[in-house]
Structure 1
């Protein structure tokens, strides 16, 4: 458990939030990294390739080192999956290594979501009796919890053992209430503590970068809450207790706004959304008789990406270009994963294309 002491958020605040943040240097490095993001015209080419051709393409790209590192352990689609996860972790760890002071601190706080993702993944694996390898397939060691430690957690026999190993983390106050049956509630609480931690990290500082970071975070909460509402409404759920799924702190959608939307039918919900600040983003893909929410989710993701890119141009030497790059990189990984999984499952190209965010 001593290993975990360095991952505790309280300790990182004290040390990482002090010191000078060299934004000019860090953003210059990040711009160079973003220049290597695959252009949108790459994806139609990938759609015309076989799995072997896509694998060769990825092997010859920025993912070469990751593929080479894992080629002895995996092959085919499994190799690509693990290479993508490794690349994301290495890339985000690099952001921490090239930054300092306040920017390093804010990046570290943002990456806490991967610690939470990995804890949830391990608990889900134990719940479903998944093998250690199956759990590790979904691990992205981009946070403070290292891959070795996460591998040890994944290898534990029971969820009780997993939680015991996390007793010295800030997550334990939530995890200790897991009884093997209330996983969705525990996952929801973990998501909430992530945002509580982010806002706590931002604090009352009036610096431009902290304000930009806060705005970036709050827009993300809006879009997450809006997507949760869509899923609830599409399923016909109007239970007021579902408010517990919502995250406080949104930029343009307050909890009061959401509370008014929750009891509505799907048709009435859409009608009310026409007054929403995000209606223009989704208006042409929303209708009362819509079958799938894929287009809505993709529109919201695209809006997030476009907003980040736009803010990045307005504030070129700030935290925003770094957040913009992190979103773009994660989106690239997601798109490549969608293509390779879709091809492996012999899905129709049109089905794969509609899931891509480009």
Structure 2
């Protein structure tokens, strides 16, 4: 999904376009109203808030929470690609670094699907809907992998494979996901420290996010009795 931009940054233009898009998002009042609704009613309400095309794409075979989730994920993937296209130069590099996390999330979703052993039909209809082109690569990974070891082997030679190859037990899903998280944050912070993509503010944000994740993991370990 993410790509590196070239040329001069267009901060003012990109900011104006982003603010215009933000104005179309569901506001806090609407969100509170949605939270009081059942999934089917929520889908109907969201369709009137600018998401009708995305909902219509899945409405013939999904309903309720599954419909809402698929439509909103589809909308987000499309929006991220559009934002990447209108951000240029250094700004484009920064946006690309942040957006790359969603690609890593899709890799983890694919690995979970392989680990769970669900059918290809369920994966392509609910987990990684085939209507969303951003899912195509990961659907192929799931379809061609019977085990996590197969998936790890299929990803060899990619940046994801580099992280996964460091895990001793390739059938340990948690360890694989942790390796992917570590690589994303390592690569992102390295790019932001120096060079053409340096940006102290985004670097500080990611470091804070890392601290939050580490604290959460610590609490989970304590709850499970790990020392």
Query: Does TM, normalized by the shorter one, top 0.5?
Result: yes
Contact 2:97–2:188 under 8 Å retained in 1:
yes
Q: Take 1:151 and 1:181, find their aligned partners in 2: how far apart are those partners? A: 19
Map 1:24-43 to 2 at 5 A: 24-43=12-31
Deviation string, structure 1 residues 186-229 (Cα, Å, up to 9, x no partner)? 2111110001110222242498x711111121121122222222
Deviation string, structure 1 residues 138-187 (Cα, Å, up to 9, x no partner)? 4499xxx9322122112224234433432231121233446453221121
Give the TM-score, by structure 1 length: 0.56
Q: Take 1:140 and 1:20, find their aligned partners in 2: how far apart are those partners? A: 36
Which residue of 190, 195, 199 corresponds with 2:180? 190
Contact 2:14–2:86 under 8 Å retained in 1:
yes
Deviation at 1:99, TM superposition (A): 0.8
1:211 aligned partner:
200
Structure 2: state its 5+ residue gaps.
none
RMSD of aligned residue pairs (Cα, Å): 2.7
Contact 2:34–2:42 under 8 Å retained in 1:
yes
Change (3 A) 1:120 1:109: same
Change (3 A) 1:172 1:157: closer
Relative CO higher for 1 or 2, CA cutoff 8 Å, sep ≥ 6? 1
**What is the DSSP-based 3-state SS (H/G/I as helix, E as strand, rest coil) of the residue aligned with 2:8?**
coil
2:77 aligned partner:
89
Q: Take 1:179 and 1:234, find their aligned partners in 2: how far apart are those partners? A: 24
Q: Rg larger in 1 or in 2?
A: 1
Q: Take 2:39 and 2:178, find their aligned partners in 1: how far apart are those partners? A: 36
Map 1:99-248 to 2 at 5 A: 99-136=87-124, 137-139=126-128, 146-158=134-146, 159-176=148-165, 177=167, 179-205=169-195, 210-238=199-227
The number of residue pairs the alignment matches comes to 222
Give the TM-score, by structure 2 length: 0.84
**What is the DSSP-based 3-state SS (H/G/I as helix, E as strand, rest coil) of the residue aligned with 2:199?**
helix
Q: Take 1:217 and 1:231, find their aligned partners in 2: how far apart are those partners? A: 21
Q: Take 2:171 and 2:51, find their aligned partners in 1: how far apart are those partners? A: 39
